[in-house]
Amino acid sequence: MEIKVQQLSKVLLIAVLLSLLAGISGCAERNETMTAPDGPATNQASSTDKTSRESYDEFVAQMDEILAVTGAQAGWTTEFSEPWPLEPGNVLTPEPCDVENWRTSPYQLSLQVLGPGAEDLQADRDAMIRYMEDQGLEVSGVFGDSSYPERVAWNAFGRGENGLTIDYGTSKDRRSVILQGECSSHPSMQNGVSRDAP
């Protein structure tokens, strides 16, 4: 009987300790959740207050500059198989900069364009890296070397202020540019915009 009481006491003691540890762990998790918005873990990019018209014009000008760096300004199409530059009626619809908090997020324009391949992949990628650096972007995601198989893309990624990013890939077959414009909190960014529509 005494042995059973001792075993029961041990079980209860272990249960209390586990419960106490779970409570401490829960407090730590709640503390992390409460402090995360002020720390580097937040997804919300800083934003401007540019109108959709201003954002669109800057976005198109930036894409044209990027394509000029490649030296191949003809033969580019969007991810939707529309030719670049866009026709007047083609509408770009801004997307939330912070998808998880889309109700309160600023918005940005985003588009992928695809174009002809390059002969010298390293020179092509390095020219884009220089452009990104000249624009004040922080460059990362630089991949590609002579050991890469022929059809695998050489890449570079640039991140600027207010959510601006350029994701560039170049291969013998084709080149890809994914441009995300600056985030803007202006109400007009809730609507689509084109060359002839605000």
Closest CA to 106 of 179, 186, 37: 186
pLDDT above 50: residue 114? yes
DSSP 115: E
Q: Are residues 7 and 75 in the same domain?
A: no
Any domain includes 141: yes
Residue 114 to residues 13, 43, 56, 59, 174, Cα–Cα distance (Å): 65, 28, 19, 16, 7
Residue 144 in any domain: the answer is: yes
Does a structural domain hold residue 24? yes
Say if 46 falls within a structural domain.
Answer: no
Pair 21, 58 in one domain: no
Q: Which residues on neighbouring strands pair with residue 150, listed in sequence order?
A: none
Residues 147 and 67 in one domain: yes
pLDDT score for 45: 56
Q: What is the pLDDT of residues 53-102, one digit of tens each?
A: 999 999 999 999 999 999 998 999 999 999 999 999 899 999 999 999 98
Query: 43 lies in a domain?
Result: no
How far apart are the C-alpha atoms of 27 and 8, rounded to whole Å? Answer: 29
Round to whole Å and give the CA distance between 8 and 197.
76
How many independent structural domains does the chain possess? 2
Domain check: are 145 and 64 in the same one? Answer: yes
CATH number for the domain harbouring residue 121: 3.30.2030
The per-residue pLDDT of the chain, averaged, comes to 81
Q: Do residues 31 and 62 both lie within one domain?
A: no
Per-residue model confidence (pLDDT) at position 83: 96
67 and 28 assigned to the same domain: no
pLDDT digits (tens, 9 = 90+) for 126-158: 999 999 999 999 999 999 988 888 778 999 999
Is the pLDDT confidence value at 115 over 80? Answer: yes
Provide the residue range defining the domain that includes 14.
2-38
**Does residue 167 register a pLDDT over 50?**
yes
24-55 pLDDT tens trace: 333 333 332 222 233 233 345 588 999 999 99
pLDDT at 6: 43
